[in-house]
Amino acid sequence: MLGKIINYYTIKNQVFIVFETKKIIATIIDDGICNFKEEETSSFAVDVNGFIFDYINPVVEKIDNAIKITHGRYKYVINDNFILSIYFDDVLISSDISYYNNKTNEFIDNSLLEAEGHAVNIEEEYKYIISKKINSNDCLYGLGDKTGFLNKRGYEYDMWNTDDPAPHVDSFKALYKSIPFFIVFNKSYSYGYFFDNTYKSNFNMAKNNSEVVSIGFTDGPLNYYFIGGNNLKDVVSNYTYITGRMDMPKRFTLGYHQSRWSYSTKDEVIKLVDNFKKYDIPLECVHLDIDYMDGYRVFTVNDERFSDFKNFTEEMKNKGVKLVTIIDPGVKVDSNYDVYNYIVKNKLVATENNEVYVNSVWPGESVYPSFIDPKLRTYWGELDGKMLDLGVSGIWNDMNEPASFNGPLPSKVEFFDGNRIHYHDEVHNIYGHYMAKATYEGMKKHNNERPFVITRACYAGTQKYSTVWTGDNHSIWSHLQMAIPQICNLGLSGFAFAGCDVGGFSSDATKELLIRWAELGAITPLFRNHSAMGTKRQEPWEFDDETISIYRKAVKLRYEIIPYYYDLFFEAANTGIPAFRAVVLEYPEDSNTYEINDEVMLGANILASPVVEQGKRNKLVYLPSGTNWYDYYSYDKFEPGYHIYDAPLDKLPLFVKEGAIIPKYPNYESLDDPKTIIFEIYPGDGTYIHYQDNGVDFNYEEGEYNIYEISHIDGNIRIDLSYNGYKLYDKIYIKYKNNIQEYKEIGTILKIE
């Protein structure tokens, strides 16, 4: 309890509210974005000091005993005990509940539950609980990678990065990522809350009371953001304004990735790559899992199995294939190993009671680098740079929850940040975040190219450094189904570049599951087939000819839409709006979209309705209202509403919005320097903006890119260059139905029929 309001004062855009026991600072960051925090609170994810502006001048008044802060269309009214109410255009949209008991009052005998092997829920003691009133028909989105469906209403989750290989089911409270951000959505408003607290917390999403969301924090200071906006997209955009957005990705990363734990010799990899050639399946990248290392020592290469590694990466590049290597955080305890010696000698590792802390991961006994220490990050980043020198094209960070095989890290394990000690209970949820930061910064510094980092664990804001995948899913149909809402919610939580293990990691994939998963993979931002050792192999030729041919079709479809995807990443880099979008993000007016779990929008123009059920050869498709839709393949017209669509095994149902223009690559060109583009015109007038750059480095930030504006009015196609800072395509084609014509001169009109 903070007690009564004693006083307040304003400096720039910050209002200091003095309560009996504490001071709360309300910082008005922008229209509808306000941070509330205790004094002296710093953040691991956000540079709060970066949001102090002279030019934002909220109106601050004291009315009765409340402080009222007005800025733009928003009013924040703060009462005694920091009871907050927020108004949008004078309508109350969010308010605190002063006391709310989110614990169950039921009698529970845990010993009986345990006796039959049930999971027992130990109710945490919370340092503080914040309870927000919502409406009973509000949808709740976001929260990162949590299991289950798009709408999180009625469930309860924990923020505690967790590596649990059991099948991730709806009742899981936590997975690998902690993104303490959720969105409250209703036809008439949307807003979000971001609780920037890294300690373990619990998000009760109206589970006990349909009108209350209640968040309990085990520790840490109060520090949260209200994130409003005129619509759902604004909220996502505003949230990523606070926590950061991705760079443009390297173009090759949008291609097809093949992985398995583990391709363990270079001959195996060469054979793999040759098979992709043989079966005419495009391949961009192979991921090397832990067996490329020498005894699982990170930043080493096994000389016997991967001899002359630099030549090998070169040889692969000559075949058009890049290599990504896994780097885990656990450093093997081994006094003959330079990485271990260096980080221990320089006190760059976690300790317990001042002694080096040892747990166990793949290499056996291992130490945990302190990624919150800038010195460690610099060292680690240099090691990543050495991997680049060996010809590696990306780094895959895993096990960074951090995982441990010998019991969980005790809460009082110490991590030094260069100035002072932080304990594990504070650092746990940001361990992966800082590992990704070290990797990103090291790679960027080394060659000034766009780093390709993939991480399993992360916190709010990790999207600035890394793409993510959803960890160890299983080859089961329910995980194919879950991938859609999971990647959509990651997108709504700031992670525009995300994917899942295509085919499923654990358990054995069937032919049909792999095929349907490849069809989904073809449209997820990161498209990587990955599986665990000991499971049925998941390369398409491990099944039959039909699998090979459908798999090829799915991967080629992916390559066709890569220029469209690249445009979507241009949008994500600038606005934070994800490429792979929950349908509601595009159609917030259409209430049928609010809980769609088996469809997704790829940007504004393509709706995908993958088949995610075993045995199904048709799909009940919902096409949102307000526009007509066209079959991606046949141009058949569909009105909005429900349709039963034929979806044989080799077909991913795709629909294009009326008036859309989709940039496509002709039958798979190299992604290194694509010289030809096709703009495919779908029925209806429309315009489209297409972005082009070198796909590799940061020169685009200095203006080395092109923006093409394509318009279609009544059968007349015109392309203009609204910005020209990079070489143009050699050839541009316009495609309409079965006609393809070369478009020869920018600024002229070409007729289609």
Contacts with ligand GLC by CB under 6 A lie at 261, 289-290, 326, 398, 456, 471-472, 505, 530
Helix axes 374-389, 338-345, angle to 10 degrees: 160
401 counts as catalytic = yes
Structure tokens at 635: 């141009």
CA gap 602, 197 in Å, rounded: 32
Evaluated on CA atoms 608, 610, 616, 622, the torsion sign reads negative
CA gap 679, 746 in Å, rounded: 13
Q: Angle CA(468)–CA(177)–CA(261) in degrees, nearest 5?
A: 50
Q: 5 or 290: whose CB is closer to ligand GLC?
A: 290
Structure tokens at 327: 């780097």
CA gap 230, 454 in Å, rounded: 33
Smallest separation (angstroms) from ligand GLC to the CB of 326:
6
Q: 347 or 537: whose CB is closer to ligand GLC?
A: 537
CA gap 75, 92 in Å, rounded: 9
Smallest separation (angstroms) from ligand GLC to the CB of 471:
5
Kindly give, in sequence order, each residue whose CB lies less than 8 Å from that of residue 702, ignoring residues fewer than 6 positions away: none
DSSP 206: S
Is 119:169 a contact under the CB 8 Å cutoff? Answer: no
b/e string for 274-287 if b means 16 or more Cβ within 10 A? ebbeebebbbbbbb
Question: Helix %, strand %, coil % for the chain, to 5?
Answer: 25, 30, 45
Q: 472 or 680: whose CB is closer to ligand GLC?
A: 472
**Annotated catalytic residue within 289, 472, 560, 693:** 472
Smallest separation (angstroms) from ligand GLC to the CB of 547:
22
Q: 413 or 457: whose CB is closer to ligand GLC?
A: 457
Q: 384 or 398: whose CB is closer to ligand GLC?
A: 398
**Annotated catalytic residue within 163, 291, 401, 693:** 401
Smallest separation (angstroms) from ligand GLC to the CB of 339:
18
Smallest separation (angstroms) from ligand GLC to the CB of 301:
15
Token pair 């979507």: residue: 568
Smallest separation (angstroms) from ligand GLC to the CB of 477:
20
Smallest separation (angstroms) from ligand GLC to the CB of 456:
6
Smallest separation (angstroms) from ligand GLC to the CB of 395:
13
Q: How far apart are the first and last CA of the chain?
A: 70
CA gap 377, 442 in Å, rounded: 8
Residue nearest to ligand GLC (CB): 261
**Annotated catalytic residue within 196, 291, 398, 693:** 398
Q: 456 or 664: whose CB is closer to ligand GLC?
A: 456
398 counts as catalytic = yes
Q: 36 or 505: whose CB is closer to ligand GLC?
A: 505
501 counts as catalytic = no
Give Cα 270 to chain centroid, integer Å. Answer: 31
CA dist 7 → 36, 66, 85, 374, 670 (Å): 16, 10, 19, 39, 65
CA gap 89, 230 in Å, rounded: 11
Q: 260 or 690: whose CB is closer to ligand GLC?
A: 260
CA dist 421 → 42, 197, 344 (Å): 15, 17, 16
CA gap 467, 454 in Å, rounded: 5
CA gap 282, 253 in Å, rounded: 13
Say what the alpha-carbon torsion angle 535, 538, 541, 542 is, to the nearest 10 degrees: 10
Token pair 């090759």: residue: 252
Q: 487 or 573: whose CB is closer to ligand GLC?
A: 487
Smallest separation (angstroms) from ligand GLC to the CB of 261:
3
Evaluated on CA atoms 724, 725, 731, 736, the torsion sign reads negative
CA gap 122, 100 in Å, rounded: 19
Positions annotated as catalytic residues are 398, 401, 472
